[in-house]
Amino acid sequence: MLMASRFLRRHSPMMSGPDVLELQTLLAVQGLDPGPLDGIFGPLTELALRRFQKCQNLQDDGLAGTDTWRALTRGYDYGAVEVPDEEPVPDEEPVEGPVENTAALPKIHVHVDTRILTMIRGGTITAYPVAVGKTSTPSPVGEWKVVFKSMNPGGPFGTRWMRLSVPWGGYGIHGTNNPNSIGKAVSHGCIRLYNVDVEKLYNLTPIGTPVSITGTVRKIRTLKYGMRGEDVLQVEQMLFDLGYMSLSPNSFYGRATQRAVQAFQRDHKLARTGRVGRSTLKALQVAYDRTMDDINP
């Protein structure tokens, strides 16, 4: 389980969306040149990102992950209220001004276990089915607010985008180009709705609207020989799909899993510990996304 939104990176075709536009804007604020602020991750955006990472003593891999987002948004205030198991880091100011009368705002609640979003507005409760983060990249449980909105972002974001005040990635509530995904745990942490539903929700959601995401919080642990669990199964499945395991995943971290992890670590120039900690898990998720051509939010 990795607390990260989709990894923004060079890809063919080029990745695009409101999260890329935000990344470009933050790089420009740092005095770097990401090229046109067009929401398309091109060569200039990668170059600016690598320069920022070098200046921050981060791994200059040209990939916008958790550490890069934290560094970029440091010094901004998105108004995050609670960040379970994470050190809160201030985030970016909303593009539109905050709503002063918070008592008049609607409230949005997302329950990741039931995959239902409810809006409470003026005594009326409306419920919508949603897609949420998969167990390897879960939706961020906590108390947030809507800090930015945009119409017709297109592609996997569907017809509407509402950015949440999560400081370690580009999380939001949005539409979809894959309606069959609604009701499932398949995203990189974002909350997806049918386009017809997100359009209704968008019109009723001012900047500053509080969003509560609740559900099972899965602890991140270092996986090693002898362990069992769903997180072991997730790692084994990725190793299997990447060709490092020949045995079917079985949720037990045995010798075969340990050898597969060591082989992966060797190929990705990581310490060959045979354990899956944060660095190995991130590298594994990135490799999996690239191999599976997964660029969805």
Q: What is the pLDDT of residues 181-237, one digit of tens each?
A: 999 999 999 999 999 999 999 999 999 999 999 998 777 789 999 999 988 999 999
pLDDT, residue 101, reads 52
Look up 174 and say whether it is catalytic: yes
> 275-280 long-range contacts, Cβ below 8 Å, gap at least 24?
275/222, 275/223, 275/224, 276/222, 276/223, 276/224, 276/235, 277/222, 277/223, 278/220
**pTM of the predicted protein model:** 0.79
What's the CATH fold of domain 18-73? Answer: Muramoyl-pentapeptide Carboxypeptidase; domain 1 (1.10.101)
CATH architecture of 230-291: Orthogonal Bundle (1.10)
Active-site residue, from 11, 188, 190, 268: 190
pLDDT, residue 103, reads 58
* Of residues 151, 175, 174, 152, the one with CA closest to residue 163: 174
Active-site residue, from 109, 174, 188, 268: 174
> 102-214: which CATH number, 2.40.440.10, 1.20.120.1200, 3.60.15.10, 3.40.109.10?
2.40.440.10
The residue ranges of the chain whose pLDDT is under 50 are: 80-100
pLDDT, residue 107, reads 97
pLDDT, residue 78, reads 57
The one-letter amino acid at 103: A
Q: Provide the 8-state DSSP code for 58.
A: -
